[in-house]
Structure formats: structure tokens, C-alpha cells
């Protein structure tokens, strides 16, 4: 159950961050509303996740996967540049989450 809630929290955070790009500095109503709702949902789901998972594990996965997903969305759909350095950075974020979890973050 914890990983399912965490996956939903990550999806909500990624959706909220993507909507923030379209809010143009919170000057457009609906993308701004979607950003706020996405983050409220993300934090609510993350809080529920912490009832069954350690904070280190949950936050590392939430932040790492969310960062990698938003970077990939930016490159694939929002016209941001894709370079070997960016790909290496995404891989390092993911590797950091894996190493943290293997090192006893549970």
C-alpha cells in the first residue's frame, strides 16, 4: 500500500510541476489552480505514505523519481535541451536513490 500511495504522490507532484510551467508565473488561472491542487494532493499522499514507510526511503524515492520524471518531461515534451550531461544527471539521481535505499534508509 505504501508504494502505491508513494507512486500517486509522485504522479501528483510531477503533474503539479508540469502545470506550473504552463502557469506562466501564476498569471494563468487554470494551470495555477492545477499546480496548487497537484501539490496539495502530492503532500497529502506523501503524508499518508509516511504512516507505513520510513521518511528517508519515502522522501528519497519521491524526490528522486519526481526530479528524473520532470527532467525527462522537459526534454521530451517542453522543448528543453537534451544533452549527455543531463542524461548522466538523471542517472545519477536515480542511482543515488538506489544506493540510499540499499544503504539502510528503510
Q: What is the pLDDT of residues 80-104, one digit of tens each?
A: 999 999 999 999 999 988 888 887 6
User: Across the chain, what does the average pLDDT equal?
Assistant: 94
Band of the pLDDT at 35, cuts 50, 70, 90?
A: very high
Beta strands in the chain (DSSP E): none
Does 106 score more than 80 pLDDT? no
Q: What is the pTM of this model?
A: 0.90
Count Cβ atoms within 10 A of the Cβ of residue 15 and give its class: 0-12 exposed, 13-18 middle, 19 or more buried: buried
Domain definitions of the chain by residue range: 2-102
Amino acid at each position: 500500500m505504501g508504494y502505491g500511495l508513494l507512486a500517486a504522490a509522485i504522479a501528483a507532484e510531477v503533474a503539479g510541476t508540469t502545470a506550473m510551467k504552463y502557469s506562466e508565473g501564476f498569471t494563468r488561472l487554470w494551470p495555477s489552480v492545477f499546480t496548487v491542487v497537484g501539490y496539495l494532493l502530492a503532500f497529502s499522499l506523501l503524508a499518508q505514505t509516511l504512516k507505513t514507510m520510513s521518511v528517508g526511503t519515502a522522501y528519497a524515492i519521491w524526490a528522486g523519481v519526481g526530479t528524473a520524471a520532470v527532467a525527462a518531461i522537459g526534454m521530451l515534451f517542453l522543448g528543453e535541451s537534451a544533452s549527455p550531461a543531463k542524461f548522466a544527471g538523471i542517472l545519477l539521481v536515480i542511482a543515488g536513490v538506489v544506493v540510499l535505499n540499499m544503504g539502510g534508509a528503510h
